[in-house]
Chains A and B, each alone.
Chain A
């Protein structure tokens, strides 16, 4: 058979590797900044752009889509070429993929800083960027499937199956979750509202973890671990079962993020059952990785690449054991909304994704530069500093989570809550400080890696086009025994793509569609009305400032929550919430019944400086809300967008809206002007102009805060169930 000569493209791999390192450092520094802000609220510098609510999405997006995203493309572009024995389908498409992806990252950083966010966690980017992501994903897909079609290796190794599942599922998740109605160049409202929005968001959110942070990295594990250990994977049969079980089960598990919420019970149970089942394939994969090293543990002692891999795979095992546990309702009742979740995701992010990326970098850079790693010792130091960093990060967060949950739930003998919310926060501040030290340590390790890789690059000669040879793929493929149908699939990657799509779509469809289709038993609540124009504007400010990242709007049906916050939340209350703002973490208290709890003047003083009303509060100041004029020119467009989404504003209300808005703003402003405390504050403050306060953003925000959860307050309440 004639042997063909060809070249692997290392240049594109190098570009993605560099980008991954660069954005990794940026994303982690953003994380460190917000970690410090939690105990030093002044570290927001009183600027909107550097405040927690805006930097936190920058941190998560940078780490997930920039650091890990570029890491995925680095791993895929390297391993796919070699597993297919072919150069990538198109160098040009690879370059377009790379540069557009980096452009998206820059656009994301800028727009998030400016407060353009859809208000949905891990899907914050606004509609023009969403479209760009879709297009670049198609480019990546064409390049990947093009390479598969022109491959010289007849078999498709399991790593590629993981890559295919990643591509298909991320495309589906991104498109479905990003349905939105634009009302300006950079702003839109989610197509879905309330319960449906929550279900779709967490179907997306969970599966972004599954198919962006897990499956492509498992593919990388299945390629790079055998490479680094120089032995085949422990059981290839197990890897096949691992793959199919994992992609099938993962897609169902999303509702475990919404346990005890207003989501229908059946969906919650579905999420729990499938989450518990997930432990089997996840651990199958982990053990397959670790067993690959059996008999090679002496190499682990020597080789930093393997060291990082072992901890990465172990962290994967820990996170995937913990995930199902957290999906059990009684465990979730304790952990949800606390720092436990933060610990859980960081075992995954720092351990699994971070360490696996580092191991691949330590493996690839010397290989592509045809030189040994500059210093094994520095890499080993990085390993230990990073590992200690992870431990120092996650243990205080587990501790903080558990402590705070226990404090929230404690009652005195007289039957009143034992602790104010703020007391439960100040109690865990030492844990927050330790966590930031752990994070700082982890970043120092990364900087050591940057130096080490830089020196390696300097010492080596880059092999941009790596020569290889392989026979062309025969037209008729030899089969082993009765393997016809499997061979049929293997020979047809496009059909394989469709099968994967069907596999994941079944889960998504059966989970989501019922909430759209079945209209009987709808608990609509007659007293729930659309937001007034001023409240709607205020809500958009709430979203812009990322309030949902620290405040939930979802009171679960527990005794302590009902006593602390008020009547538990009902599905029917959120029908006009595009997007939903239930939140997933309570760094501050729940706001679902905030309306009417405190006077307008309290909110006015509080947003200016939370320490004015709540001593030792860790919330940042929002001074710009008192100087920024509310953009009323956009009100009609917002109303029209809401009408398109089915919110029942009267016909032609868009033209009436600003009149109503002004009237409501005047009423609130007049009330504030008469408050003695505010008058005193205005007398000593240069920036605060009470005469023009009616036009400022703070008024809209106050109107929204005073509205939240008030719709059903006047209703005759059913007896609150006594709860677990």
Chain B
């Protein structure tokens, strides 16, 4: 439990930024493609859910 070490610079920190960005980007693009290509009837059906109760 000795978390008393700190740092101002991390060697190879790029990998954190790059990997995190790639994970985010790929997932986001997949979701967007899905959202845009999703079946129109289904989208309409879900969209009207709040009004059907």
- Residues on A lying within 8 angstroms of B by beta carbon are 79, 82-83, 85, 153, 155, 157-159, 191-196, 222-223, 226-227, 230-233, 236-238, 240-241, 244-245, 248-249, 252, 262, 264-266, 270, 468, 480-481, 483, 486, 503, 506-507, 510, 514-516, 518-524, 571-572, 574-576, 644-647
Contacts and interface: CB of A to CB of B under 8 A. Distances in A.
Contacts of A516: 3
A605 to B, nearest CB: 36
Interface string B10-34: 1101001101100110011001101
A646 to B, nearest CB: 3
B7 A521 contact: yes
22 contacts: A153-B49, A155-B45, A155-B46, A157-B49, A191-B3, A193-B3, A196-B3, A233-B50, A236-B44, A236-B46, A244-B28, A264-B10, A266-B9, A483-B39, A503-B27, A506-B20, A515-B6, A521-B10, A574-B6, A575-B5, A575-B6, A646-B1
B1 A266 contact: no
Given A157-B49, A266-B17, A521-B10, A646 B42 contact: no
Interface centre among B16, B19, B35 (most CB of A within 10 A): B35
Interface of B: 1-11, 13, 16-17, 19-20, 23-24, 27-28, 31-32, 34-36, 38-39, 41-51, 53
Contacts of B1: 191, 644-646
Contacts of B46: 155, 157-158, 236
Nearest to A490: B46
Contact of A83 (B6, B32, B34, B49): B49
B6 A524 contact: yes
B8 A507 contact: no
Contact of B7 (A222, A483, A515): A515
Contacts of A193: 3-4
A264 B9 CA distance: 6
B28 A510 contact: no
B31 A519 contact: no
Nearest to B17: A270
A481 B39 contact: yes
Nearest to A575: B4
Contacts of B32: 241
Nearest to B2: A646
The 6 closest A-B pairs by CB, nearest first: A646-B2, A480-B39, A480-B42, A236-B47, A82-B53, A240-B35
B41 A480 contact: yes
Given A480-B42, A515-B6, A510 B35 contact: no
Given A155-B42, A240-B38, A507-B20, 18 more contacts: A82-B50, A196-B6, A226-B50, A230-B51, A238-B35, A249-B24, A262-B8, A266-B9, A266-B10, A266-B16, A270-B17, A506-B20, A516-B3, A520-B11, A521-B11, A524-B5, A575-B5, A647-B4
A155 B6 contact: no
A266 B13 contact: yes
Contacts of B3: 191-193, 196, 516, 645-646
Nearest to A155: B46
B8 A510 contact: no
A233 B51 CA distance: 10
Contacts of B7: 264, 515, 518-523, 571
A214 B6 CA distance: 32
B13 A514 contact: yes
Contact of B16 (A192, A233, A514): A514
Nearest to B31: A244
A680 B27 CA distance: 71
A9 to B, nearest CB: 14
Contacts of B23: 506
Contacts of B20: 252, 506-507, 510
B39 A576 contact: no
Contacts of B43: 236-237
Given A510-B20, A645-B1, A85 B53 contact: yes
A186 B8 CA distance: 35
Contacts of B17: 266, 270
Contacts of A82: 50, 53
Contact of A521 (B8, B34, B45, B48): B8
A232 B45 CA distance: 10
Contacts of B42: 155, 480-481, 483
A416 to B, nearest CB: 31
A245 B49 contact: no
Nearest to A573: B6
Contacts of A226: 50-51
B35 A241 contact: yes
B43 to A, nearest CB: 5
A522 B23 CA distance: 29
A624 B38 CA distance: 66
- A191, A237, A241, A264 pick with most chain B CB within 10 angstroms: A237
Given A232-B48, A468-B53, A506-B23, A240 B31 contact: yes
Nearest to B12: A518
Nearest to A503: B27
Nearest to A249: B24
Interface centre among B2, B10, B43 (most CB of A within 10 A): B10
Contact of A232 (B13, B27, B38, B50): B50
Nearest to B23: A506
A248 B28 contact: yes
Contacts of A85: 53
B34 to A, nearest CB: 7
A644 to B, nearest CB: 7
A153 B49 CA distance: 9
Contacts of A192: 3
A644 B49 CA distance: 54
Given A244-B27, A510-B16, A155 B4 contact: no
Scoring B8, B11, B34, B42 by chain A CB atoms within 10 A of each residue's CB, the highest score goes to B8
A87 B6 CA distance: 51
From B1, B23, B42, residue with most partner A Cβ within 10 Å: B42
A553 to B, nearest CB: 16
Given A240-B35, A522-B5, A514 B47 contact: no
A232 to B, nearest CB: 4
A4 to B, nearest CB: 14
B46 to A, nearest CB: 5
A191 B2 CA distance: 9
Contact of A237 (B2, B4, B24, B36): B36
